[in-house]
Chain A
Amino acid sequence: DGGITQSPKYLFRKEGQNVTLSCEQNLNHDAMYWYRQDPGQGLRLIYYSQIVNDFQKGDIAEGYSVSREKKESFPLTVTSAQKNPTAFYLCASSIQLADYNEQFFGPGTRLTVL
């Protein structure tokens, strides 16, 4: 079955530690995205990538970093510079960035920083 996987589902970290969230897709999609979801707010775009070895900042990139070394993988690192990292993180992919196809989402990772 094709889809997007994120791991782990729940993650706890101490303040000041960096943490990396994984995202893998086997849909052969070119575009991948990272969103953050907080209660009472819409999804906010952190980073996106249109193609391997290329990525762009979204609306709230400060304190985050990404890499896109393989088409299938788009890991997100939450650094200690992110002031309020506790949130639900969603990874998504689509066939291409500039087309009319929907984005498919992974199951999400709930990060809690203690």
Chain B
Amino acid sequence: GQNIDQPTEMTATEGAIVQINCTYQTSGFNGLFWYQQHAGEAPTFLSYNVLDGLEEKGRFSSFLSRSKGYSYLLLKELQMKDSASYLCAVRDSNYQLIWGAGTKLIIKP
């Protein structure tokens, strides 16, 4: 079967750095997405990786290792507004997105 694993919850301090990991086992691979979702709201796109390596976008970076079936999202200079759930999704061989359950990130002052 297809599976995406992420930690359920993480806590970090305002101004710090946090890394959210995602491991996947899917039938085929056509890219990995990270989305941010505030409680009760729609997911919003953060990043996309299809080749191995690091993609940097402002305070957020995302890394991919296809051979290890592994990605992480790195958030720097954490702000209170970064408190949200972070969803990892892999596009499989049928171009369907397989979603992880999300990681709830709690930021403390």
Given A90-B43, A106-B42, A108-B41, the answer on whether A100 and B31 have CB atoms closer than 8 Å is yes
Note all chain A residues with C-beta closer than 8 A to B42.
90, 105-108
* CB–CB B97/A105 < 8 A: no
Note all chain A residues with C-beta closer than 8 A to B99.
42-44
* CB–CB A43/B30 < 8 A: no
Binary interface encoding of chain B residues 5-46 relative to chain A, with 1 for a CB under 8 A from any of its CBs, else 0:
000100000000000000000000011010000001111110
Interface of B is mostly: loop
Q: How many residues of A contact B (CB 8 A)?
A: 21
Note all chain B residues with C-beta closer than 8 A to A45.
96-97
Q: Whose C-beta in chain A lies nearest to the C-beta of B30? A: A100
**Complexed CA–CA distance, A97 and B91 (Å):** 11
Given A40-B101, A41-B101, A42-B102, the answer on whether A104 and B95 have CB atoms closer than 8 Å is no
A-B CB contact pairs (8 Å), 16 listed: A40-B8, A41-B101, A42-B4, A42-B101, A43-B43, A43-B87, A43-B89, A43-B99, A44-B99, A97-B95, A100-B48, A102-B33, A104-B45, A106-B42, A107-B41, A108-B41
Excluding A43-B89, A105-B44, A108-B40, 8 further A-B contacts by CB distance (< 8 Å) are A40-B101, A42-B100, A43-B43, A43-B97, A45-B97, A58-B96, A100-B31, A108-B42
The interface of chain B, by Cβ under 8 A from chain A, is 4, 8, 30-31, 33, 40-45, 48, 50, 87, 89, 95-102
Q: Which 10 A-B pairs have the closest CB atoms?
A: A42-B99, A105-B42, A102-B45, A43-B99, A98-B95, A42-B101, A105-B43, A107-B42, A42-B100, A41-B101
The interface of chain A, by Cβ under 8 A from chain B, is 40-45, 48, 58, 88, 90, 97-98, 100, 102-108, 110
